[in-house]
Structure 1
Amino acid sequence: MLSKLKKLYDLIDGFVLIMLTAIGIALLAPEFGSSRGPLHLGTVTSLGVALVFFLHGAALSRDKLVAGARHWRLHVFVQAFTYVVFPVVGLLLMLSLRNSLPPDLLLGVFYLCALPSTVSSSVAMTSMARGNVPGAIFNATISGLIGMAVTPLLMGLVISASGASMPLGKALTGVALQLLLPFALGQLLRPLIANWLAKKKHITNKIDRGVIVLIVYSSFCDATAQGLWHHYQWQTIAAVMGLAAVLLFVVLGTTTFVARRLHFSVEDEITAVFCGSKKSLANGIPMANILFAGHPALGLLVLPLMVYHQLQLIVCSVIAARYADRDALVEDRAAARA
């Protein structure tokens, strides 16, 4: 009994407690921390993400960055899970639950499965877990670019929305300004600040975690302020939560299992799990406004995405904290083999 309590205490570390506290505050007073609230967290989190990418650019050697881009097995793994495995699972869910749940809700589940991976939280959590950050940056970024074409195509195949399109130029500009530009600046300034950053690594780790907490807090504030938890019957919310939880844990378990069967290093496994299991709310909401423009059930269509987004941040943050403790991970793997 005492050993189980100790394991629970070790799992619920300070970072997780802070995150859960932020969620509680967001549920009680959402207007204070919403994207357009007095804290202007929409802007703050964007700047925080840019800072994270700047620090990663300054900390990463170009040799490691090139090596990360050349790791084709990892890239194929992540993109295959994002755009093949996920959509197949979504289609199976649509077919198996078509007599149990509203059609618009099931279409929203498939839409969730057809979206690209996240960028900011995937990279931040990979960094916090001490994984392959160059691989995460490459895969998360390329996933968003691929999704601009593949996601509408997949949705078109399901709903025959052949006229849908994405503002490619605007999306590419956003990626370049918020992510690639800070990373490139970090690379340029690396000769000047790399040694200082190496000595202050604990500070950069805290910035990574702090940005994740801000993303979670702002996301829950926005969801609560928009009435996500009040607009639908509790049975609908419960069904979506159940589907999102099953989908997330299946994908997390599968990505971890396959990555280990392919004999990925722990660092590559971390990147594969986080980039291969996440779905982007930042890309999903604007894209939904285009694909489902004028649809009377738009809120129901994006509900699975919003619930999955909240859940993936919480669960993956706990996993990232666990991965960061390499000694505990090695002991767990040794015990599993015994």
Structure 2
Amino acid sequence: MLKKLKIDSFVIAIVVSIILAYFFPQLAASSSPMPMGLISSIGISFIFFFYGLSLNSEAIKNGLKNWKLHLAVQSSTFVLFPLLILPFYPFFKDSDYELLWLAFLFMAALPSTVSSSVVMVSMAKGNLPAAIFNASISGIIGIVLTPLWMMPFISQTDVAFDFSSIYIQLITEILIPLILGLLLRKFFGAWAQRHKRQLSLFDKFVILLIIYKSFVQSFEDEIFSSVSVLEMGVMVILVLLLFYIVYSLTGWFGKLLNLNHADRITNQFCGTKKSLVHGTVFSEALFGQTTIIGIVLLPLMFYHAFQILIISVIATKKGKENIAKA
């Protein structure tokens, strides 16, 4: 329950950040002397540096044996999700809703979460080592696959993108800090494990900072004037529909692959999650030169809130059922 409360408080903090961006934009306004772009870039680098330090190499080594489960989880995360969004592209291409479609594709192409996936699998009595493996490896795979899914479509929008700077930012802010963290695990890995809670709070602070900055820019340029309350409502319904479709399909694939009960739980819980941390960071790299990040992050923020709420209810129920069977 405490874990759930902690995650719910982060969702509230996101809402507060957006409200602050609307009423108190001074820190991140275009006229502000505060170098918010530089601060967020440094914060992103530290997130991935600490991520590299914290990776559980033993869990990754042991997890490699359960290849069917890992293939199912990563296929759901990086193939199933985008393929559910792609067929609708012709209906939105060159329309007023193309940017909203792009926002859904961006969410669909993201890696799975780390902490919440592991916590929920643990609550439901699923395969915990496999959850740790898949959550950890997903972030690394996403550094390569998420931009690959996005590039063909963002190049066709009316917004000007400098792809060379995107790749440079991905390498300098994400890839190099991650590799550096992995190389220094031997010396600072134990320190990172001891300070997991503090590092998690640091991650969330940086994410809130980026969300604040992104929404200040979007409000400043009146980006949201093009999105009505009705469209917001439709977006929420579509996010919920997407979640339940993927949750049902991952359950069906688990049975098709003859996964045991614990593996099926891990497959459904890890295969349906999307990472707000990676989403916020990747949006900075992919859309940082523009003012559309606020809209791009909207479906992801809705999904983040709903995935936590729905999966925690399911995890609690499954955990009780497994205890009763034992």
Common fold by TM > 0.5: yes
Distance 1:224 1:321, change over 3 A: same
2:248 is matched with which residue?
257
> What are the equivalent positions in structure 2 for 1:1-338 lying under 5 Å apart?
10=5, 13-34=8-29, 37-62=32-57, 64=59, 71-91=70-90, 94=92, 104-115=95-106, 125-130=113-118, 132-147=134-149, 149-151=151-153, 168-229=163-224, 231-232=225-226, 236-263=227-254, 269-275=268-274, 281-282=283-284, 285=287, 306-307=294-295, 309-317=297-305, 319-320=307-308, 329-333=314-318
Amino acid at match of 2:317: D
Instruction: Report Cα offsets for 1:53-75 as digits up to 9, x if no partner.
Output: 1111011144555757x733333
Amino acid at match of 1:307: I
Q: Is the 8 A contact 1:118 1:281 kept in 2?
A: no
Between the aligned partners of 1:194 and 1:186, the Cα distance in structure 2 is 9
Distance 1:284 1:19, change over 3 A: same
Between the aligned partners of 2:180 and 2:272, the Cα distance in structure 1 is 28
Q: Is the 8 A contact 2:17 2:212 kept in 1?
A: yes
Amino acid at match of 2:201: K
Amino acid at match of 1:83: P
User: What count of residue pairs does the alignment treat as equivalent?
Assistant: 293
Q: Is the 8 A contact 2:117 2:135 kept in 1?
A: no
Instruction: Report Cα offsets for 1:30-60 as digits up to 9, x if no partner.
Output: 2323477344332222222211111110111
Secondary structure class of the residue paired with 2:214: helix
Q: Is the 8 A contact 2:107 2:299 kept in 1?
A: no
Q: Is the 8 A contact 1:128 1:208 kept in 2?
A: no
Amino acid at match of 1:255: V
TM-score, scaled to structure 2: 0.70
The runs of 5 or more residues in structure 2 that have no matched partner are 119-130, 255-262
Amino acid at match of 1:238: V
Distance 1:331 1:250, change over 3 A: same
Between the aligned partners of 2:42 and 2:298, the Cα distance in structure 1 is 21
Instruction: Report Cα offsets for 1:290-315 as digits up to 9, x if no partner.
Output: xxxxxxxxx9xx6xx74351342254
Between the aligned partners of 1:166 and 1:224, the Cα distance in structure 2 is 21
Secondary structure class of the residue paired with 2:97: helix
The runs of 5 or more residues in structure 1 that have no matched partner are 1-5, 96-102, 290-298
Between the aligned partners of 1:276 and 1:36, the Cα distance in structure 2 is 31
Secondary structure class of the residue paired with 2:32: coil
Between the aligned partners of 1:129 and 1:256, the Cα distance in structure 2 is 14
Distance 1:38 1:283, change over 3 A: same
Q: Is the 8 A contact 1:35 1:222 kept in 2?
A: yes
Secondary structure class of the residue paired with 2:184: helix
Supply the RMSD in Å over aligned alpha carbons. Answer: 4.3
Identity of aligned residues (%): 14
Between the aligned partners of 2:267 and 2:31, the Cα distance in structure 1 is 37
Q: Which 10-residue stretch deviates more, 194-203 or 253-262?
A: 253-262
1:99 is matched with which residue?
none
Amino acid at match of 2:135: V
Distance 1:10 1:152, change over 3 A: closer
Between the aligned partners of 1:108 and 1:43, the Cα distance in structure 2 is 26
Between the aligned partners of 2:17 and 2:160, the Cα distance in structure 1 is 37
Instruction: Report Cα offsets for 1:71-110 as digits up to 9, x if no partner.
Output: 333332223234321112444x649xxxxxxx63133344
Distance 1:213 1:276, change over 3 A: closer
TM-score, scaled to structure 1: 0.68
Distance 1:11 1:166, change over 3 A: closer
